[in-house]
């Protein structure tokens, strides 16, 4: 169980994390979403004790990370953004070292190391130096280090970054598998990943939580209407008016066109499914139907909507001179928080 | 304790998997050998002159050979030890491996002491290898054991002090070169700090500066005197250095 209450982190005048609160139940996976510099990594570093918070409280597996850091850390596995590998150690040596500092008794060490290597499938690299591993292996050795001591809580900062598609799928499977007996927070900006692996999503922007929900609810909440994209070969005519005339179609915009095809984006009325009518119209007009794709409001869109339509924060300095673009101030802030 | 040992082992190991330990030990022992020969020649010359002038046939090996030799080695340490400790924190911060340590159930002091003892172990090894030369001296001459041991103790304590300075500076930066130069500068300053005062004036400032100087405290050790005053100086120096390192690492948590 992870509980974050009103955690705030300021670096001088810059607020990297602003009054963030959320809760992850035991055995759940929480996805932590946000643009770069939103405060994801800072929040995770606070939870793992790598950095302190200016204000607020955080409980990991029942222990306060500020009051009782050693007990909290004993129950936490952390994979930072860059896997913390010692280049001059072999994978086995590295994991053995990690096991030792995590207080795993020497009798169990070999077995635990082997188990962690097996779970993350890095056994074939066991005797290779960490410095010589490819990005994908580095990431997985980092993950092996995080799960080594079988912690209650796993905090994974972009666990699939730099992996190839097959490894991404494997890693996601592994994370899902781990969920049962571990509570997991993972950060990412790959949105399908959240949809596929997480039970709960926290979207954070400029240090603030802008949404906490399940991926399903989030997509549902913002899916007002559906858009269908279609590519048509209209044989020289303009297909737009005919389609616009159909019942259930709100508007039609031409997205692209070339000599023998026209791409239209058809905005439907809420709840209306006009795919059959669209197809029938095209066919009955004698045109060629090349493509018909429903464009659902994806997590990407939701994400963009939530993280860009936010009002600038009240405590932002007023842009001086008025000529400055409105986005300038928040952007600066994001960059400063990144540093 | 076990945790400190784990970190110390890891540190010591990292010196030995890179050329660092070999270069440091080799360089140190080579220079030691060079000064050994120089001091030996000097002693032989002095003793011959003394003989010709009707003085005692044998002069004190400890006074004319070991003392200047160990004094010279103290200077070599001033150059070498900052290079040894420079990477300690800086490298971990640069590569991000510090997060592994910070997020593990280790306390700050455990990590610091582990790093300290790791570097100290390498330095002890460097000193230990030079005992070969001393052995040679015992085979062909009759030096007194006491002053040699106290001289080595003095060197060891001084090295310990340099290492604690090095660790402190290393904990303040991500850049190894800055750490090495910073530690060297600080150690050098602590070394020459007494020069600014006028020894003949006997003013309090001069005395305080002389007391601070890391080298002045070594002098008695090389003469064969183990004075608790100097022991206290080195031990409190080391403790204070490690304490400041702990503060520096902690403040990093607040700032970074």
pLDDT in tens, B242-254: 999 999 998 888 7
* Helical segments of chain A, H only: 40-47, 69-74, 91-101, 106-119, 135-147, 165-179, 191-197, 215-222, 240-244, 275-284, 299-308, 328-338
B183 touching chain A per CB within 8 A: no
Classified as helix, coil or strand, B86 is coil
The number of folded domains in chain A is: 2
In chain B, the residue whose alpha carbon lies closest to the alpha carbon of A148 is B104
Nearest CA among A299, A276, A278, A293 for reference residue A223: A299
User: What angle do the packed helices A91-101 and A135-147 form, to 10 degrees?
Assistant: 30
Q: Which among B12, B87, B95, B105 is the top mutation candidate for probing chain A, defined by the most A β-carbons within 10 Å of its own β-carbon?
A: B105
Nearest CA among A207, A202, A210, A209 for reference residue A17: A207
Q: Which residues of chain B make contact with A81, given a CB cutoff of 8 A? A: 96
Mean pLDDT over A218-240 rounds to 73
Partnered with residue A49 across adjacent β-strands are none
Output the average pLDDT for chain B: 90
* Rounded percentage of chain A residues whose pLDDT exceeds 70: 85
How far apart CA A3 and CA A30 sit, in angstroms, is 12
Cross-chain CB nearest to A51 (options B14, B97, B253): B253
Q: Do A86 and B97 touch (CB under 8 A)?
A: yes
Mean pLDDT over B178-190 rounds to 94
Q: Which among A86, A150, A152 is the top mutation candidate for probing chain B, defined by the most B β-carbons within 10 Å of its own β-carbon?
A: A86
Give the ipTM. 0.88
Task: Indicate whether A324 pLDDT > 70.
Answer: no
Q: Which residues of chain A make contact with B104, given a CB cutoff of 8 A? A: 73, 98, 101-102
Task: Indicate whether A310 pLDDT > 80.
Answer: no
- Of A201, A221, A241, which closes a domain? A221
* Rounded percentage of chain A residues whose pLDDT exceeds 90: 34
Assign residue A31 the CATH number of its domain.
3.40.50.300
How far apart CA A296 and CA A268 sit, in angstroms, is 11
A157 and A282 together in one domain: no
Q: Do B17 and A88 touch (CB under 8 A)?
A: yes
Mean pLDDT over B92-121 rounds to 94
pLDDT in tens, B208-222: 888 888 888 888 898
Name the burial class of residue A180, with classes exposed (0-12), middle (13-18) and buried (19+) by CB atoms within 10 angstroms of its CB: exposed
Domain carrying residue B88: 2-255
Q: Which residues of chain B make contact with A78, given a CB cutoff of 8 A? A: 99, 103
A48 in a structural domain: yes
A267 and A245 together in one domain: yes
Q: Which residues of chain B make contact with A104, given a CB cutoff of 8 A? A: none
Q: Which among B104, B115, B174 is the top mutation candidate for probing chain A, defined by the most A β-carbons within 10 Å of its own β-carbon?
A: B104
A156 and A213 together in one domain: yes
* Rounded percentage of chain B residues whose pLDDT exceeds 90: 63
Q: Is the Cβ–Cβ distance between A204 and A32 less than 8 Å?
A: yes
A274 and A248 together in one domain: yes
The alpha-carbon gap from B97 to the nearest alpha carbon of chain A, in Å, equals: 4
Q: Is the Cβ–Cβ distance between A11 and B255 less than 8 Å?
A: yes
Task: Indicate whether A326 pLDDT > 50.
Answer: no
Q: What is the pLDDT of residue B141?
A: 81
pLDDT band at A297; cut points 50, 70, 90? low
Domain carrying residue A285: 224-295
How do strand A261-268 and strand A2-11 relate by DSSP bridges?
unpaired
Q: Do B256 and A51 touch (CB under 8 A)?
A: yes
């Amino acid at each position: 169980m992870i509980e974050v209450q009103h955690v705030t982190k300021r670096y001088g005048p810059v607020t990297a994390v602003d009054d963030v609160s959320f809760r992850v139940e035991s055995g759940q996976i929480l996805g932590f979403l946000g643009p770069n510099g939103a405060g994801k990594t800072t929040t995770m570093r606070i939870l793992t004790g790598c950095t302190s918070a200016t204000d607020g409280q955080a409980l990991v597996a029942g222990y306060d990370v500020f009051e009782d850091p050693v007990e909290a850390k004993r129950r936490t596995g952390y994979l930072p953004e860059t896997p913390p590998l010692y280049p001059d150690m072999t994978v086995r040596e590295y994991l053995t070292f990690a096991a030792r500092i995590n207080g795993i008794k020497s009798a169990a060490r070999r077995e635990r190391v082997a188990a962690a290597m097996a779970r993350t499938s890095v056994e074939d690299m066991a005797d290779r130096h960490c410095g010589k591993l490819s990005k994908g292996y580095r990431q997985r050795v980092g993950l092996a280090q995080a799960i080594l001591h079988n912690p209650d809580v796993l905090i994974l900062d972009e666990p699939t970054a730099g992996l190839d598609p097959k490894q991404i799928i494997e890693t996601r499977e592994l994370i899902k598998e781990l969920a049962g007996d571990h509570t997991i927070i993972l950060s990412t900006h790959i949105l399908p990943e959240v949809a596929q692996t997480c039970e709960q999503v926290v979207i954070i922007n400029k240090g603030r939580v802008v949404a906490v929900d399940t991926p399903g609810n989030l997509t549902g909440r913002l899916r007002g209407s559906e858009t269908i994209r279609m590519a048509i070969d209209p044989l020289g005519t303009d297909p737009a008016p005919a389609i616009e005339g159909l019942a259930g179609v709100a508007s039609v915009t031409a997205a692209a066109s070339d000599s023998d095809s026209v791409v239209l984006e058809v905005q439907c009325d809420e709840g209306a499914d006009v795919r059959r009518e669209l197809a029938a119209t095209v066919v009955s007009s004698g045109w060629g139907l090349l493509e018909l794709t429903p464009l659902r409001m994806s997590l990407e869109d939701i994400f963009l909507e939530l993280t860009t339509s936010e009002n600038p924060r009240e405590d932002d300095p007023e842009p001086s001179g008025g000529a400055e673009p409105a986005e300038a101030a928040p952007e600066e802030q994001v960059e400063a928080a990144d540093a | 304790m076990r945790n400190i040992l784990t970190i110390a082992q890891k540190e010591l190991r990292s010196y030995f998997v890179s050329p660092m330990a070999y270069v440091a030990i080799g360089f140190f022992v080579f220079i030691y050998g060079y000064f050994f020969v120089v001091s030996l020649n000097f002693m032989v010359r002095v003793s011959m002159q003394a003989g010709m002038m009707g003085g005692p046939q044998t002069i004190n090996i400890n006074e004319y050979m070991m003392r200047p030799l160990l004094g010279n080695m103290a200077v070599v340490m001033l150059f070498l030890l900052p290079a040894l400790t420079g990477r300690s924190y800086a490298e971990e911060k640069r590569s991000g491996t510090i997060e592994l340590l910070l997020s593990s159930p280790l306390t700050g002091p455990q990590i610091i002491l582990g790093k300290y003892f790791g570097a100290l172990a390498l330095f002890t090894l460097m000193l230990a290898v030079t005992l070969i030369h001393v052995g040679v001296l015992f085979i062909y001459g009759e030096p007194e054991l006491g002053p040699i041991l106290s001289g080595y103790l003095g060197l060891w304590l001084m090295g310990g002090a340099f290492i604690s300075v090095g660790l402190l500076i290393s904990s303040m930066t991500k850049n190894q070169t800055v750490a090495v130069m910073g530690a060297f500068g600080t150690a050098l300053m602590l070394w020459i700090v007494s020069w600014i005062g006028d020894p003949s004036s006997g003013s309090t400032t001069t005395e305080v500066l002389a007391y601070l100087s890391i080298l002045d405290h070594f002098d008695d050790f090389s003469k064969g005197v183990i004075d608790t005053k100097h022991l206290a100086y080195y031990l409190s120096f080391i403790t204070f250095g490690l304490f400041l390192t702990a503060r520096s690492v902690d403040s990093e948590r607040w700032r970074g």
